[in-house]
Amino acid sequence: MQVQSMFFKESASKKLNDAVLQKAMKKAKSKFVDGRAASVATIDNWEDIRTHAAALRDRVIANLDAYLIEFEKNAIRRGSVVHWAETAEEANAIIVEIARKNAVKTVTKSKSMVSEEISLNDALEAAGVKVLETDLGEYILQLAKEPPSHIVAPAVHKSKEQVAALFVAHHHKPLLTDISAMTREAREELRAHFLAADMGISGANFVIAETGTTLTVTNEGNADMVTTIPRIHCVITGIEKVIPTLEDFATLIRLLPRSAIGQSIANYLTLTTGVKQANEQEGPEQMHIVLVDAGRTKLLGDDMQSMLRCIRCGACMNHCPVYQNVGGHAYGWVYPGPMGSVLTPTYVGIENAGDLPNAATFCGECQVVCPVKIPLPDLMRKLREKQFDLHLRPFSERFAIQVWAFFVKRPVLYSFASRMGARLAAWMGGREKLIHKLPGIDGWTDGRDMPAPEGKTFKELYRKKYASRKTNP
């Protein structure tokens, strides 16, 4: 996917004025946030499970080469072909070549964010292969020709009226108003394609070193169709998705659906290992697994390494006050919210990520809800520092920080200046005690008033209180 993250500010302003989006985001927020809280509350040792999960992800990441080699060995032993791709282009070329070699004309696909990273659908279409997304959300977006705006609920930004209009345009059937009827119509449209497709493409939530298994988590059952019915199954996934054992999966699946959508379990957990056996009447004759780097190894040994723990639940964005207001498209690449503000600069380059590391209030909620305890605010803070060091921030910001640094290194001067500043701000606040316009940062006061301070600094008040305590013990 083409990176548009440098336009975050402009895009975010537009999204804040989009009435349909604002309504959709409000609805989603309450469902995701309340749903997760209720579901997590049913587990008495949630924190222990999180701690165990973070540690098991860290152990794999610290020995990623060894676990990938074990996974590859077992996958091959079970009849899969394992491919490695360093870049998006390589991954696309591998899959296009599999399609070409096997005369594949049609592909059904279950949701894969890695395939969004590399624009796999475009590459296949360019090679003359028809690709159909089968996750309902992804299918809607394919009809709308839009990228996903959420990693779990890709069409969260769409209203049912917009979906109904898309279905009329593409299915040529009467307009529907009921969500169940729309879902049934999509099911009926897609059924024939499931049965006829030459190749199925799926992502993988995890791949298991112990058994050479790839694994998808869905509610719809589409991944089961895609991995069972076509004669070729191709899995595309990131190299960081490997976990050692089935037991590790059992731990992670206690966290993933609860964090993502407040469900104790997803409806379908689909483990696929190898190809159709001689005694079977279903299953693919070929199973290909494409392990993609595309920027992931850059995080190893870097202060961003803990981001590789991510299990793609989306809880960080669901709980982010910035995401809740601007939606996913404003972030300009595949991964929105706090995880995107870390992944976009690290995968596609910090120079392309614009304001993303700054698109945070640092309320810390993302870290609190992260099932694998990724310190997202810390990572974003470090990215801000990197942007400053690389001279990627605007002159005005650099200048302001340098001025502040000058004062803060001189305590007497700093204390004098803050006393003056507090008094000036109190005067500016007037009787209402609200500042309507701050010269120099009027962008901030355009949308809100700043409460004016009382006129004295904390130090002044503290000194006064301390002095009075001394005299009246």
Partner 1 sequence: MSARENILARIRTNSGKQGATTEQELVAARAVITARTRGPLPTFARHEPIAHFIEECDRLKTTLAEVHSLQDVPAEIARYLLVENLEKKLVGWAEFSALNWTGARIEFINRAANANDLVGLTGCFCAIGETGTLLLLGALATPKVTALLPETHICVVKKSRIVPTMEDAFQLMRDEIGEPPRATFFVSGPSRTADIEQTIVIGAHGPYRVHVVLIP
Residues 44-83 that bind partner 1 (CB under 8 A): 44-45, 48-49, 52-53, 56, 59, 62-70, 78
For residues 16 and 269, which CB has a smaller minimum distance to partner 1 in the complex?
269
CB of 97 to partner 1, least distance (A): 13
Stretch that binds partner 1, among 20-28, 97-105, 345-353, 465-473 (CB under 8 A): 20-28
Rule CB under 8 A: choose which of 10, 34, 86, 285 binds partner 1: 86
Footprint on residues 385-424 left by partner 1 (CB under 8 A): none
H or E segment to which residue 290 belongs: strand 286-292
For residues 32 and 331, which CB has a smaller minimum distance to partner 1 in the complex?
32
Stretch that binds partner 1, among 300-308, 323-331, 387-395, 423-431 (CB under 8 A): 300-308
What's the gap between Cα 64 and its chain centre? 22
**What 3-state DSSP class applies to 383?**
helix
Q: Any idea what the Cα angle at residue 211 is, between residues 297 and 286, rounded to 5°? A: 85
Q: Does 382 bind partner 1 (CB under 8 A)?
A: no
Interaction mask 141-180, partner 1, x per CB under 8 A: ------------xxxx-xxx--x---------------xx
Footprint on residues 189-208 left by partner 1 (CB under 8 A): 190-191, 194-195
Give whole-number Cα distances, 464 to 458, 467, 468, in Å. Answer: 10, 5, 6
Contacts by 225-228, CB closer than 8 A, 24 or more apart? 225/108, 225/110, 225/134, 225/194, 225/200, 226/108, 226/109, 226/110, 226/134, 226/194, 226/197, 226/200, 226/201, 226/202, 227/110, 227/200, 227/202, 227/270, 227/272, 227/284, 228/200, 228/282, 228/283, 228/284
Q: Sign (positive/negative) of CA torsion 172, 178, 183, 188? A: negative
Token pair listed for 454:
């009382």
d(CA 473, CA 471) in angstroms, rounded, equals 6
Q: Does 41 bind partner 1 (CB under 8 A)?
A: no
Q: Does 307 bind partner 1 (CB under 8 A)?
A: no
CB of 337 to partner 1, least distance (A): 16
Footprint on residues 239-278 left by partner 1 (CB under 8 A): 239, 244-251, 253-254, 261, 264-277
Q: Does 298 bind partner 1 (CB under 8 A)?
A: yes
**What 3-state DSSP class applies to 255?**
helix
Contact 341, 322 (CB under 8 A): no
For residues 10 and 89, which CB has a smaller minimum distance to partner 1 in the complex?
89
Footprint on residues 211-230 left by partner 1 (CB under 8 A): 211, 213, 219-222, 224-225, 227-229
Longest dimension (CA), the chain: 93
CB of 347 to partner 1, least distance (A): 14
